[in-house]
């Protein structure tokens, strides 16, 4: 969690360097749109990454910043909101395929890397990725994969032989899946023995 918070704070610093003072007098307002539950937001007494960043930024640079933080639950809901044209964010955190869509549809501003000196610390393997090969629009935030877990006390081991278990009526209403159409399609394709990388 600490590494994710550090990289998220780096993304906030980047955004703060890229935006002009807006609205609230001498307070920079930073509008961020991220996945739900990606950072700790202070709910139920937990660490509040955004408030701590605001304090740190004031101490470090002597300038006030306010993070206006909103969350989304899928790439598709992020896309729908941005396509209305009625909102504007300084930082968004889409997945790779949605970044590619936004670039192709001219929905992202190019970054000025002279304002991002810490970019030099990003490992080369995370630069020039397929969705932004020239690194004009993105800075890596985090990466990962979606895994599958199950309760061994609730699932008969004899049933866990492959993807078919996801469609076993015995477990109807007891399976949760991340809200992502690409993951859902990939799961079905794996079960059917199809190539998940197929464009057909």
What is residue 116's predicted lDDT score, i.e. its pLDDT? 86
State both tokens at 127: 């630069």
In the block, tokens 């002279």 appear at 114
In the chain, DSSP assigns E strands to: 27-35, 64-72, 91-92
Task: Give Cα 101 to chain centroid, integer Å.
Answer: 15
What are the start-end ranges of the H helices in the chain? Answer: 2-18, 49-61, 75-83, 96-104, 181-191
State both tokens at 189: 């394709």
The fold for domain 2-126 equals: D-Maltodextrin-Binding Protein; domain 2 (3.40.190)
Q: Are 102 and 108 in contact (CB under 8 A)?
A: yes
Q: Which of 107, 97, 110 is nearest to 138 (CA)?
A: 110
CA angle 20, 112, 18 (to 5 degrees): 20
Give the start-to-end residue ranges of the domains of the chain.
Answer: 2-126, 147-200
pLDDT, one tens digit for every residue, the chain (200 residues): 444 444 455 555 556 555 544 445 689 899 999 999 889 999 888 999 999 999 999 998 899 999 999 999 999 999 999 999 888 999 999 998 999 999 999 999 999 999 888 899 999 999 999 999 999 999 988 877 777 788 889 999 899 888 888 889 999 999 888 777 888 888 888 888 899 888 87
What is residue 137's predicted lDDT score, i.e. its pLDDT? 95
Q: Which of 2, 64, 8, 3 is nearest to 33 (CA)?
A: 8
CA distances from 190 to 73, 163, 195, 197 (A): 24, 7, 7, 11
What is residue 162's predicted lDDT score, i.e. its pLDDT? 83
State both tokens at 133: 């090969």
């Amino acid at each position: 969690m600490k590494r994710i918070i550090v990289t998220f704070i780096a993304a906030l610093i980047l955004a703060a360097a890229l935006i002009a003072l807006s609205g609230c007098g001498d307070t920079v307002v930073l509008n961020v749109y991220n996945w739900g539950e990606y950072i700790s937001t202070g709910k139920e007494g937990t660490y509040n990454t955004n408030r701590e960043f605001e304090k740190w930024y004031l101490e470090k640079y002597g300038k006030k910043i306010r993070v206006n933080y909103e969350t989304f639950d899928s790439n598709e809901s992020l896309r729908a909101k941005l396509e209305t044209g009625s909102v504007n964010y300084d930082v968004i955190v889409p997945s790779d395929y949605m970044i590619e869509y936004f670039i192709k549809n001219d929905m992202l501003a190019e970054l000025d890397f002279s304002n991002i000196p810490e970019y030099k610390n990003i490992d080369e393997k995370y630069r020039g990725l397929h969705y932004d090969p020239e690194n004009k629009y993105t800075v890596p935030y985090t990466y990962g994969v979606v895994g599958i877990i199950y309760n061994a006390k609730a699932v008969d081991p004899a049933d866990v032989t492959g993807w078919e278990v996801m469609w076993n009526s015995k477990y109807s209403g007891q399976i949760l899946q991340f809200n992502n159409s690409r993951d859902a399609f990939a799961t079905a394709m794996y079960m059917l023995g199809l190539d998940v990388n197929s464009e057909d």
